[in-house]
Amino acid sequence: MTGVSAVTPEVRAAFDDHLARTDETGATALALGLLRSGAAAEDILLRLIAPAQAAVGARWMSTEWSVAREHAATHVSERVVSAVAAEAATARRPHDCAPARHIVFACVEGERHTLPARIAAEVLRLRGFDLTFLGAHVLLPRLMAQVHRQGPDLVALSCMIPVCLPATHPLIESSRRAAVPVLAGGSGFGPGGVWARALGADLYAPDPAAAAESLAVRWPQAPREVAPLEHLADEEYSRIVHERAELLRRLHARLRERYPRLREPGAEHAEAVLEEFGRLPDVVAAANYVDDPRVLTDFLSFGGEFLHARGMPTAALVDALAALSGPLGGLPRAASHLDAGRRWLSAAGHAVPPD
């Protein structure tokens, strides 16, 4: 994208207003109006829809918007992406998109945040790549059936939440065994894509434009063997997964005991808080899988902001780690990660209130 963007602050404000009112017709008309007046489709995707959707997420995080309102606005954004992509495809001349390398693009198993992936896929398509988008929560058999059927030049995987990392690893390994290199993208792969590399991805891109530019400059080479994750031989990860139900029971019991509000039927945000804490055993498992406590500390950072916005003491995070420390104390790596989490919380100023 070059030159002055057609997405001015006024245009952004108007689009935000359409999302706030769940006005699909108005949002679509605005985006297509920009496109028909000469704005680049990529500009609309990356400078209008993507930041507007980030603002939607921030409104949910702050509790300004309910989950239902956030979902409704996201649906509008998805519809606008489809409309922009369809119009851009119609306007594209046949020789603009041939010959092209073929990419199969999927959200990893467990990943249901499709909008960032869809935007990235459409940017790659606009840059001239032939692309098949498989959507959300793609299981290994479905991905490999597509790989064997189409014989793509690349598999692109989107992961926005680190708890999906263990399920992502087989997708990467199986694609590479089929001699197809893997591009990874999304915040779930960690700072700078550190966990993408740990799981064997051939390339990581922090954003759609960077992905397109990297592929244009250097296509990944044929996959080479990657060293296995040797730490998994201790079976700690498998034990955490096996004990998940008990960990969750202990976690919820401790939180309900220490924070009576969570026991009150219909208490505001109580269900959302317990649901968010319910992810913690999976977060610990993912940290164990890639052997990196940053998976846990990143969740704690998010959790502090989440709890504060909902009127819950952030010290509940310390209580939550304590609930898991007993049953996981005999697992050295898991215990080390929980200790790292406690140190992070202490440094951030979160302390357990006195009994």
Identify the pLDDT of residue 205.
96
Q: Which of 2, 3, 33, 1 is nearest to 15 (CA)?
A: 33
pLDDT score recorded for residue 95: 44
Residue 93 burial (CB count, 10 A): 6
pLDDT of residue 352: 54
Q: How far apart are CA 157 and CA 117, in angstroms?
A: 8
Cα 106 vs. chain centroid, distance in angstroms? 12
Residue 178: alpha-carbon gap to chain centroid: 25
pLDDT at 170: 96
Q: How sure is the predictor about 351, in pLDDT bands with cuts at 50, 70 and 90? A: low
The pLDDT assigned to 225 comes to 79
* Whole-number pLDDT of residue 70: 97
DSSP structure string for 216-260: HH-PPPSP------GGGGG-HHHHHHHTHHHHHHHHHHHHHHH-G
DSSP labels for 74-121?
HHHHHHHHHHHHHHHHHHS-GGGG-S--EEEEEEPTT---HHHHHHHH
Token pair, residue 152, equals 């793509």
For 167, phi and psi rounded to 5 degrees? -75, -20
- Give tens-digit pLDDT for 150-174: 999 999 999 999 999 999 999 999 9
Which three-class secondary structure state does DSSP give residue 182?
A: strand
Question: Is residue 123 within 8 Å of 84, Cβ to Cβ?
Answer: no
Per-residue pLDDT of 39-85, as tens digits, reads 999 999 999 999 999 999 999 999 999 999 999 999 999 999 999 99
Residue 332: asked if its preceding bond is cis (omega within 30°), the reply is no
- Largest alpha-carbon pair distance within the chain? 71
- pLDDT class for 298, splitting at 50, 70, 90? very high
pTM for the full model?
0.92
| pLDDT, tens only, 190-201 | 999 999 999 999
